[in-house]
Structure formats: structure tokens, C-alpha cells
Structure 1
Amino acid sequence: MAEAAMQRYVYEYADPRIVRIPQVFDAFTITEPDGASVTYIVMENVEGGHFGAYSKWDPQEAEQAIERIANAVRHVWDLPLPPNAAIGPLGHERPVDRFFSDVGSDRAFNNAIELQDWINNKLNDAGRPDRVILEGERLSICHCDLTQFNVKMCEPIAIIDWGFAGIYPRAFEEFAMLNQGMTFANTLCRQLFGPKPSKHMRAMALAARFHMFGC
């Protein structure tokens, strides 16, 4: 339900002239016969092609659209945070995203220091001297899955699929884009963060690999 909660929040506070967020009408969880829980979200359908298709139809226009997409992402970053919200998905759930992988973290986090310690403990267990310092960094709502398929080329730009979204230092948005290794994500990442990876990227990559593969 964290995805629906975050999407509702961003829809409510984002300026619809800058970025379009699909409106959530309902969200509910059912239990399957095998005991598994499945969550369904009923939301607005946003018409328009995604960036991946658009870049094939009109490559020049798609290239020029990167700045509009970057402005939409920056606008989401600048939104006020939900009151008393902790690090990670809304509802104080365990993060599951491109950094924590499909396995997810083994815990929820209350603040940046707990997240910092978790990452540095992974690096220590991996025998790596690298460390991250997240204490004091600005927290923002980060989508954490800005692929070419999650950006709809309409007016304004629409951002869909908020399943990995949470409250993090912006380095997590950067990592999620670089981790894709795709042209769109790399181009958008440079537009948002500059030509070179930030200081946290090496340490985060090593910690993520150890968390996923144990090496």
C-alpha cells in the first residue's frame, strides 16, 4: 500500500502544470488461495507514449524533452515531505528498489543515520574500506525507477509506476538511474547530477552488490 500512499501524496502536492501524476482512486489487498497477499491499485489512465517509443518516433524532440523531464523530477524533489515520515517507503515499510534489490532490506529505517550505518556495515562485512556519510544530507521524495517506460510524453510530462518510491537522500535517485545502464537513464542522470558520478556511488554500488550476492 506504500506505492498508492506515495502516489496519492505526490498527486496532491505536485504542480500539475509541471508534472502529471496518475490519480489513485482505490487501493486494496486480497489474499490468494495459496495465502499470498496481492495489492491492487485503481488509478487514472495516462494516455500518451512512453519515452522509449517516443525516442524512436522523433529522436530530436525526445532529446529536447530531457530538460522537461529533469524539471519534473526536480519539482518532486522539492515537494514538502509528509509529516513524521521516516526514511524509505511511506508507512515505515522495508525498502525494495534498485539499491536494496527485489530481496529488499532486512529492516525499516527511521532516519538517515540508521540507513548510513546499514550501508557501512554491509561495506565492512564485504571487507571494503569505502564508506558513505548520509547524515545531514537533504531528504527528498525519490521515484527510484525513472526508466524510459515510466515517463509518459504528454503535456506536461507524466511520471508513472511509483512502486520503488520513498524518502531518501538524492543519491538514491542517482544510483537507481546509473544502475540501469541505459542511455535514457544515463542522459537524465547527467542532466540532474552532472557529468560525473557523485561521491557516494562507488560505495553504494559495492554495498548493493554485497547485499544481493554476498561478494
Structure 2
Amino acid sequence: MDPRFPLEGRDLSAVSDAEFVQAANIGTLISCNGTKIVRITSTAVLKIGFEVGLQEALNMEYVSTHSNGQIRVPHVYRTFTSKNIGYIAMDYIDGHCLDAIPWSERTTQERQNIVLQVTEGLRCIRSLRHCQPGPVGQGIPMGGIFTVYGAGRAFQTAADMEPWFNHKLGIIGAGDVTGLFKELVMCHMDISRRNLVLDKAGKLWFLDWAWAGFYPQAFEKASLLHKRVEDPDFQFAQDVLRELGYCSSEESLVGLLLSVFQVNDGPFQGSHLTQGC
């Protein structure tokens, strides 16, 4: 057995959870930034962490199935939990994360090509719609605009989600979103260079779908606009936003969502946990 790839040659659909856990301890560690990524075969990895779970895997499988190959997402083999730690076995994408090279050091042509692929992917998933907000499988919205604590509950309808945001906005008297959550589309919600991989053929792959779900498309734009000037991804996000275009009808909602981010960045980010929102 090659210790770099402990499950090489195995049918991953037939591998037990215990064998995956064992492979995670001896495979090649390729990332340990918050969550661990371990290669278990030459073509597959395990994503491992306390915040890794079924919700992310369901989002990935849904997008892969419904995008007709227009957006590249690693194939998921298995997801499970062991001792409160989540595992997702998925394809290994042979390439490099975009954050391996500073955005300013890429050529104009490289940046244009990447931005076009990002925006094409976002427009593709925007065509995927649902009547219930949140991640696939009726899970609890997590991360980004929902704070590090998550929303604390699942939402049944767009209107059901409004009080959560109105509570946040009420903390700073910034208005409310009543009636503004209309069409719900698939959003990635964590578009950053660390979550994008260029393969050897120059094709872009979208990783880390833990925060994804069905939301008004203004949510995606607000998550990109939220990046501060000092963020290494600031100019990248600005370039993506410029290519996406800005619909004037979204301006009011985007502004309110940025106010929610402002609350989340302060001492009241977990206030919803005690307010029953």
C-alpha cells in the first residue's frame, strides 16, 4: 500500500466509515486551513472538520446534478460524521487554488479569463431556484451573512426569513427587508480565491459549498461587496462584481444586507440566539 494514497484502487462507495477515518490519519495532508484536506487516493480526498457535514455535500451534489456540467464541482462519494467530526470524500482536483498567486501578479488576460469563468458559474447557479430558503435539504443557513453561529434555525419561506434580518437591522436602526425577499436562487456565498481551483486544462472548479443555499441573488453580491480594502480578495471581488453587473432594483436590498454584515462584525452578531428569531 502506498502510504500517500491509502485507499488507492478501492471502490470508495464500498469503503466503510472506519476505513475512511483510518485513511485520514495516514494519507497526504494537503491543507490544514480551518479544515483538513487529506489525499486518500491519487484522485480523491477527504475534507475533515467540525463544520464539515451533510449540508455541504448536499449542496455540491445538487449543483453538480442540476447545472448540466456548466459549473464544475467535485463529485461526492460519501459524507459521514465520526466523533462529532464531519467527513466528505470527494474528487481531488489536480490544479492550484487561485490564492497561490497574488491577484495583482496575474496578467490582465489571466484575470479576465478567471473572472469570466467565475461570473459564468454564478450566472449558471442563479438559474437554479427553490421556494424554501437555505441550503439543500432544508438545513440551517450558515456562515457569512448568518454569522459564525449560523442562523440558529431553518426557514420555511422567504417571508419566514425576514424577521431574522429585521432583528439585526433593528439593532442599528437601518430599516427592514419586509417584502424584499422575492425570488430565491442558488448562491455560493463564499466566493474567494481560496475556494476556486484552476485545473491543468485551465478550467475553474468551485469548492467549499458549506455556506451555499437558495437566497435572493442580492445575497451573493452583498457577500462580495462585504470584502474590505485590506482583504487580499478585495480587488478580485471588485472585478467579479464589475463583470456581473449591478441591477438598480437590487441596490436597496444590497445596502440593507451590508448593514446586517456590519451588525454581524460587531458585538451583536450572536444576538439572534437569544431573541427567538
Preserved CA contact (<8 Å) 2:59 2:209 = yes
* Partner residue in 1 for 2:79: 27
* Partner residue in 2 for 1:206: 259
Q: Which moved more, 1:1-10 or 1:58-67?
A: 58-67
Preserved CA contact (<8 Å) 2:166 2:177 = yes
1:144-170 CA distance string (max 9 Å, x none): 000011122234321111111111111
Over aligned residues, Cα RMSD in angstroms?
2.4
Q: Partners in 2 of 1:44 and 1:56 — Cα distance?
A: 30
Q: Partners in 1 of 2:108 and 2:181 — Cα distance?
A: 40
- Seen in structure 2, the aligned counterparts of structure 1 residues 56 and 97 have a Cα distance that, compared at 3 Å, is same
Q: Partners in 2 of 1:3 and 1:138 — Cα distance?
A: 22
Preserved CA contact (<8 Å) 1:98 1:179 = no
For the pair 1:149 / 2:203, whether they are aligned, the reply is no
- Seen in structure 2, the aligned counterparts of structure 1 residues 13 and 168 have a Cα distance that, compared at 3 Å, is same
Letter of the structure 2 residue corresponding to residue 61 of structure 1: Q
Deviation at 1:41, TM superposition (A): 0.2
Q: Where do residues 130-149 of structure 1 align in structure 2 (5 Å cutoff)?
A: 130-135=175-180, 137-149=182-194
* Partner residue in 2 for 1:2: 55
1:76 to 120, 125, 130: 125
Q: Partners in 1 of 2:257 and 2:161 — Cα distance?
A: 11
For the pair 1:177 / 2:224, whether they are aligned, the reply is yes
Letter of the structure 2 residue corresponding to residue 62 of structure 1: E
Q: Partners in 1 of 2:242 and 2:142 — Cα distance?
A: 24
- Higher gyration radius (CA): 2
| Bigger proportion of residues as strand | 2
Unaligned segments of structure 1, at least 5 residues: 32-36
1:160 to 198, 202, 207: 207
* Partner residue in 1 for 2:21: none
1:14 to 67, 82, 90: 67
- Seen in structure 2, the aligned counterparts of structure 1 residues 19 and 92 have a Cα distance that, compared at 3 Å, is closer
Q: Partners in 2 of 1:178 and 1:129 — Cα distance?
A: 18
Q: Where do residues 21-170 of structure 1 align in structure 2 (5 Å cutoff)?
A: 21-31=73-83, 37-53=84-100, 55=103, 58-65=106-113, 66-81=115-130, 86-124=132-170, 126-135=171-180, 137-154=182-199, 155-170=202-217
Deviation at 1:127, TM superposition (A): 4.4
Deviation at 1:90, TM superposition (A): 2.1
Q: Partners in 1 of 2:163 and 2:58 — Cα distance?
A: 27
Q: Partners in 2 of 1:193 and 1:95 — Cα distance?
A: 26
The percent identity for this pair of structures is: 25
Q: Partners in 2 of 1:11 and 1:188 — Cα distance?
A: 22
1:23-76 CA distance string (max 9 Å, x none): 001100112xxxxx1110000011212223354664223221212220111111
Preserved CA contact (<8 Å) 1:14 1:75 = yes
3-state SS, counterpart of residue 146 of structure 1: coil
